[in-house]
Structure 1
Amino acid sequence: MAGATELPEKGTKCLLTVNIPKPPSISPATEAEIETAATAEKGTPLSPTARLFLQPKFNCHIIVILGFAKIIAADEMKAGLQATLVRHPRFSSVQVSQNSRKDIPRWVPTKVNLDDHLFYPELGPAAAVSASDHAAGDRFVEDYATTLCQTPLDPSRPLWDLHFLSVRTTEAAAGVAIFRIHHSLGDGISLMSLLLACTRKTSDLESLPTLPEARRRPAAAAAGVGAWVFLFWLWNFVVYAWNSLAGSLLYVASTFFLKDTRTPISGSEGVEFRPKRFVHRIVSLDDVKAIKCAMGCTINDVLLGVTSAALSRYLSRIYGGHLPQSLRIRTSLLVNIRPTSGINALADMMKKGSDARWGNRLGYMLLRFPVMMCEDPLDYVRKGKEVAEKKKNSWEAIFTYTSGLLIVKCLGFKVVTAMCHRIISNTTLSFSNVVGPTEEVSLFGSPLIYIAPSVYGHPQALSIHFQSYQNKLTVAMAVDELAIPDPHRLLDDVAQSLQLIKDAATARS
């Protein structure tokens, strides 16, 4: 379906009109199909978290925007998907539920028709405009992704689709793919690992990507021997227990009465049902590492500090330079509490068609962003590190996960759904940092330029996700334009805050 293209006058906001290709008609599986599938394969029950992501107020989807150096033809894309992703049990199963209210929906294998999942829309004049005006291509991709939020996935088929747009953007020379996956299929870390398991090093098309090694914490034995080891262990236990107790009490308080300060970036009633705008900016990962080395902290600490500084700049401008004191702005940080299957294991699983540990096993952490005006830009990183350190040394995520399971058993699924919705609604934004490959990788023969993951369908007006890839860091945002009408300005604040903190760290070192 051709997309209409209009070149506006200077200063206007919308540049291109987007027409999403009409998906196959959505129709639930017939009773005969369900019965046949259930007879052939009983399937695997959905986890509580997967069921949560299917609720109307938590109908969460993950969107990953991929920039490519060359176009992948439809036949090549189908062959690649058939050999990799389609072999994964979750991407080749439908969610089947019996009529009984107590029945838990199950994953039932089905035959995947890639024509129902892969879209190459006819862009018409839009492609020609983007060839000479790359900014127009950027806006077209943003508009297309926003329109996808209003186009539901077909529940009678596996809950994912892939749209390839042959438009040139500021970073992507050939085209952009928008990969949409329902969050019930898995948590963000596992899904990103699965995506990377479909790629290969550009320098060696037989090799899987290389990820940075996680830095391990010093073992207790480093404290000494004998009684000193015991004291070191006891002290760590007390610290973890205290931080976990404090975090758990705040979690309970946030369920009933503790809310973030109402600010212009807070979501309003019904924000989970409104479409989001997806924007991103690529910054230097080397700058982040330089700050990390100068400050003796982690990359996560730096990103917390940069985000705090950016939010402070953005809100200060809205408040006319007079930022209110003691703003409570928190993120409901989702934490994967299960060891993730490595890229090699996932690639092996798709190769052999076997099952593996998968799904959603997520706990919450409520993390406060220090929003304030600082004369020394490094104070944002110091404050971020202080806040993050308490969360690292706690079992808060395990507590929230296990308490959720307990509430499901004792009070029912509706109660835990209402609680989770209330907690997330009482916080301001979602935040994550995902580690990517250290070298260039290719997807089905085409080099990837950038990876920009995001999410929609949750009751917040702002999501900020950081994704590393080679020596680049993509800052991806999903915003409700009623709350944040100028998301690119907020991206500018992130980039400028990073530069100011890097300059201060360099001068200090």
Structure 2
Amino acid sequence: MKGRITAEEEEEEQPLSPMARVFQSPGVDYCAVTIMGFKTKINPDVLLDALKHNVSKHPRFSTNLSENGAKWIETQVNVEDHVVVPYIDQEEVGEDGQGFVDEYISRLTMIPLDRSRPLWDMHILNVRTADAEAVGVIRSHHSLGDGMSLISLMLACTHKTSDPDNTAIPSLKRRTVSHGLRNKGWFLRSILTVGSTTRLIWNTVVDMLLLMATLTFLKDTKTPLKGGAEVGSNPKRFYHRIINLDDVKFIKNAMNMTINDVLLGITQASLSSYLNQQYGKKNEEEGGALTSYPNHLPSKLRFRVGCTVNLRSDIGFKPLEDMMVKDSKCRWGNYFSFIILPFSIGLQTDPLVYLKKSKSTMARKKHSYHAALVYFIIKIVLKVFGAKAAATLFNRPVMNITTCVSNVIGPMEEISFRGHPIAYIAPSSYGHSQALLVHYLSYAGKMIISLAVDPSIIPEPEKICDEMEESLKAMKAALWERGLH
């Protein structure tokens, strides 16, 4: 007869969270990649010492998976096994340092993490690129934590460049919306409350019906950006572009919207322009007639985007030790869900139309319990039918839409890793069944755009970033012309 589990055994073995179980399933084997550009060459010995004092002591980075993939088991970590410093012939690299880095990281996407030890590693590439003197690449299985968790861990291991004694924890508060009803009569408030509740219920029902349709039969139109089931096992390439965060904030303030709204508007505008170019090339290759109006987009494109939603009640960053506390309002792990946003792919003569559409779409989605319900349903399915069924519930809608977009707030000031100032942080992931992923991260007055693509479908991802920059310029110019600055 098996004895009772002791407190020590409970600490040594912890169950995976519902989303972590999903990410451990064969059909949803996602891996997060954090690419960091440094302003100086990286000293591997300094980095190893820092990891021994920080990352190796983190519960998720010092545990193995149990055989059935349901529990974390505490283990001893040999940090040297997780840090790779490849020999690099600088003459072979030549002037194309970024090309070498891109090819190296792409090869990593075809090398699985060693499941006999904690599921993370770091690669040091002392190669100069256009944006950095050296590049560090951290891979971690998505079951270890979501974007917010991983950025929190990075903050715990770094410090402000301007103030080495302090870590850089960005502050963030939920945006409060004033409805201007304080001085109205109770009757009017009651009517509006009933109306708001009715709309909330209606939006949630519609969203869940659309989700069920997407789960079963509703697929996006096949476009030059649409992947398929085989894409998940294909090698990925990563591309980043750095833009000015103040430009994004300028549009945000002028249009009275959120940064998320602005980024979605830019994404919608740039993908519309990119697709128009691709269809134009296809039309020309097929000998199609040239038209005076350069609109080559098919009519009635169904193009949808999965947008991640943080489910924590406290969305601000906290010290790592606070995130590890049980029942923390800003806890470590995979506490996110997603919503599905319809994109209006089309050419607009007024670039501000894209912003108005994104603001309207997000306002509608915020008034729905879609994200919370998806997470709750996945938990129930996991308990009743197991991880495979829950993974199917998560992955099928992702396969049937075109892309996913994520935005994470990063440090507001420049940070350093043991005397190594960081120039940029570009988060992404691979293992997904989409040909394009778009991640945004704000850092020290910059907004970093990070793309993960299947090069067999999107061979020139830099053109998408070009369109993003052009869309941002066009939106700024339109606002200045109308005096909305």
* Length-normalised TM-score, structure 1: 0.85
Instruction: Render the CA deviation track for 1:288-333: whole Å, top value 9, x for unaligned.
Output: 1111122111111111111011111111011114111221111122
Q: Distance in 2 between matches of 1:499 and 1:111?
A: 51
Q: Alpha-carbon deviation of 1:56?
A: 2.1
Q: Distance in 2 between matches of 1:340 and 1:154?
A: 34
Q: Alpha-carbon deviation of 1:119?
A: 1.2
Distance 1:248 1:506, change over 3 A: same
Aligned ranges for residues 201-280 of structure 1 at < 5 Å?
201-218=160-177, 222-224=181-183, 226-280=186-240
Q: Distance in 1 between matches of 2:119 and 2:172?
A: 32
Report the residue type matching 1:124 in the other structure.
Answer: D
- Work out which of the residue numbers 398, 410, 422 in structure 2 matches 1:448: 422
- 2:397 matched residue in structure 1: 423
In the alignment of these two chains, the number of paired residues is 459
**1:305 and 2:265 aligned:** yes
Range moving further from structure 2, 227-236 or 441-450: 227-236
Report the residue type matching 1:198 in the other structure.
Answer: C
Distance 1:269 1:343, change over 3 A: closer
- 1:34 matched residue in structure 2: none
**1:464 and 2:424 aligned:** no
- 2:359 matched residue in structure 1: 385
- Work out which of the residue numbers 40, 43, 52 in structure 2 matches 1:70: 40
Instruction: Render the CA deviation track for 1:389-408: whole Å, top value 9, x for unaligned.
Output: 11112111011111112222
Distance 1:502 1:403, change over 3 A: same
- 1:315 matched residue in structure 2: 275
Distance 1:427 1:122, change over 3 A: same
- Work out which of the residue numbers 143, 147, 163 in structure 1 matches 2:107: 147
Q: Distance in 2 between matches of 1:163 and 1:229?
A: 58
**1:109 and 2:83 aligned:** no
**1:433 and 2:381 aligned:** no
Q: Distance in 2 between matches of 1:347 and 1:222?
A: 40
**1:285 and 2:285 aligned:** no
Please tell me whether the aligned partners of residues 57 and 459 of structure 1 are also in contact (alpha carbons under 8 angstroms): no
Q: Distance in 2 between matches of 1:348 and 1:339?
A: 14
Q: Distance in 2 between matches of 1:83 and 1:339?
A: 30
- Work out which of the residue numbers 452, 464, 467 in structure 2 matches 1:493: 467
Please tell me whether the aligned partners of residues 55 and 157 of structure 2 are also in contact (alpha carbons under 8 angstroms): yes
- 1:27 matched residue in structure 2: none
Please tell me whether the aligned partners of residues 170 and 316 of structure 2 are also in contact (alpha carbons under 8 angstroms): no
- 2:18 matched residue in structure 1: 48
- Work out which of the residue numbers 121, 127, 133 in structure 2 matches 1:161: 121
Instruction: Render the CA deviation track for 1:110-156: whole Å, top value 9, x for unaligned.
Output: 11101111111110135862xxx2xx111111111101001111111
- 1:123 matched residue in structure 2: 88
Instruction: Render the CA deviation track for 1:225-254: whole Å, top value 9, x for unaligned.
Output: 644444443333223222212211111110
Please tell me whether the aligned partners of residues 127 and 167 of structure 1 are also in contact (alpha carbons under 8 angstroms): no
Q: Distance in 2 between matches of 1:290 and 1:127?
A: 43
Report the residue type matching 1:93 in the other structure.
Answer: T
Please tell me whether the aligned partners of residues 204 and 370 of structure 2 are also in contact (alpha carbons under 8 angstroms): yes
SS at structure 1 position matched to 2:151: helix
Q: Distance in 2 between matches of 1:343 and 1:85?
A: 18
Instruction: Render the CA deviation track for 1:2-49: whole Å, top value 9, x for unaligned.
Output: xxxxxxxxxxxxxxxxxxxxxxxxxxxxxxxxxxxx969651111221
Please tell me whether the aligned partners of residues 378 and 393 of structure 2 are also in contact (alpha carbons under 8 angstroms): no
Distance 1:114 1:498, change over 3 A: same
Q: Alpha-carbon deviation of 1:223?
A: 3.5
- 1:330 matched residue in structure 2: 304
Please tell me whether the aligned partners of residues 31 and 139 of structure 2 are also in contact (alpha carbons under 8 angstroms): yes
Q: Distance in 2 between matches of 1:208 and 1:347?
A: 13
SS at structure 1 position matched to 2:305: strand
Aligned ranges for residues 390-405 of structure 1 at < 5 Å?
390-405=364-379
Structure 1: stretches of 5+ with no match in the other structure: 1-37, 99-103
Instruction: Render the CA deviation track for 1:362-394: whole Å, top value 9, x for unaligned.
Output: 322111122111010110111111111111121
Q: Alpha-carbon deviation of 1:480?
A: 0.4
Distance 1:208 1:178, change over 3 A: same
SS at structure 2 position matched to 1:246: helix
Please tell me whether the aligned partners of residues 54 and 157 of structure 2 are also in contact (alpha carbons under 8 angstroms): yes
SS at structure 1 position matched to 2:319: helix
* Length-normalised TM-score, structure 2: 0.89
- Work out which of the residue numbers 363, 367, 372 in structure 1 matches 2:337: 363
**1:178 and 2:142 aligned:** no
Please tell me whether the aligned partners of residues 415 and 421 of structure 2 are also in contact (alpha carbons under 8 angstroms): yes
Report the residue type matching 1:112 in the other structure.
Answer: V
Q: Distance in 2 between matches of 1:210 and 1:431?
A: 24
Report the residue type matching 1:50 in the other structure.
Answer: A
SS at structure 2 position matched to 1:380: helix
Q: Distance in 1 between matches of 2:442 and 2:221?
A: 31
Please tell me whether the aligned partners of residues 220 and 232 of structure 1 are also in contact (alpha carbons under 8 angstroms): no
SS at structure 2 position matched to 1:452: strand
SS at structure 2 position matched to 1:270: helix
Q: Distance in 1 between matches of 2:31 and 2:474?
A: 34
Q: Distance in 1 between matches of 2:22 and 2:464?
A: 31
Q: Distance in 1 between matches of 2:313 and 2:430?
A: 25
Structure 2: stretches of 5+ with no match in the other structure: 1-7, 281-294
SS at structure 1 position matched to 2:131: coil
Root-mean-square deviation over aligned CA pairs: 2.2
- 2:152 matched residue in structure 1: 193
Report the residue type matching 2:278 in the other structure.
Answer: I
Please tell me whether the aligned partners of residues 164 and 176 of structure 1 are also in contact (alpha carbons under 8 angstroms): yes
Q: Distance in 2 between matches of 1:62 and 1:340?
A: 23
SS at structure 2 position matched to 1:335: strand
Q: Distance in 2 between matches of 1:342 and 1:215?
A: 8
Q: Alpha-carbon deviation of 1:206?
A: 1.2
- 2:384 matched residue in structure 1: 410
Q: Distance in 1 between matches of 2:440 and 2:109?
A: 21
Report the residue type matching 1:299 in the other structure.
Answer: I
- 1:15 matched residue in structure 2: none
Please tell me whether the aligned partners of residues 463 and 479 of structure 1 are also in contact (alpha carbons under 8 angstroms): yes
Distance 1:220 1:498, change over 3 A: closer
Please tell me whether the aligned partners of residues 190 and 340 of structure 1 are also in contact (alpha carbons under 8 angstroms): no
Distance 1:348 1:268, change over 3 A: closer
Q: Distance in 1 between matches of 2:327 and 2:136?
A: 27
